[in-house]
Amino acid sequence: MSIDTATRTLPDSSADERATRLADAGSAWGERIAADRTAAHLRYRVQGTGEGAVATRVRAGAHTFWIDEPAALAGDDVAASPVEIALGALVSCQVVVYRLYAQALSIPFDDIEITAEGDLDAARLFGADESVRAGFSAIRLDIRIDGPESIERYERLRDAVDAHCPVLDLFANPTPVTATVAKR
C-alpha cells in the first residue's frame, strides 16, 4: 500500500469572506428548500477497499483517503483509525455548524477549537465480553471559543449547534443500518 503524504493547504479566508460564504450558502439552501422541500434530501456514498494488513482505502466523491489501525490492532499505523475518523467527523461537523449558526444567530466568534474524546471497551471487539458496547460508551466534546460574546451567548450557540449537527445526531440517536453481503 502506498499513501500520498503530500500536505494540502487550505486557502486563507478572512472573517468577512467566511461570513459571506456562509450567508450565501444559507440563503441558497433556504431558497432551494422553500421551492422544493425534497431538495434537502441528500444521499452520500462512500466506498472502501481493503488494502495492506487491515487498512481501508476510502473514496468519497472526488476524495481518496486511508483509514488504518495501530500495530496493536494488526495495522500498519499509516493513517487514523476508524474510531479516530469518527471522532474527527464529529469535530469537523461541529466546527461547520458552529460557524453556520454563529452567522445565522449573530453570535460572532474569532476562533474555535474542538477536542473530542471517546471511551471504547475493546473487549467486545475481540469477543471477550458481549455485555459491553462495541462502540463508544461515552464521548466528551471540549469546545474552546475565542470571541467578543459572553459565555451565555456561546452556550445558546452550542444549543443551536447540538440541535442541528448531523454527525452529532448520528452519535446521539439510533440510525437504521441495513447490510447485504454478496459474493463477487
Q: What is the pLDDT of residues 81-125, one digit of tens each?
A: 999 999 999 999 999 999 999 999 999 999 999 999 999 999 999
Q: Which residues contact 143 (CB under 8 A, 6 or more apart)?
A: 94, 98, 112, 113, 114, 158
| C-alpha grid cell, residue 60 | 468519497
Structure confidence at residue 7 as a pLDDT band (50, 70, 90): low
Report yes or no on whether pTM surpasses 0.95: no
Angle subtended by helix axes 82-104 and 151-164, to nearest 10:
120
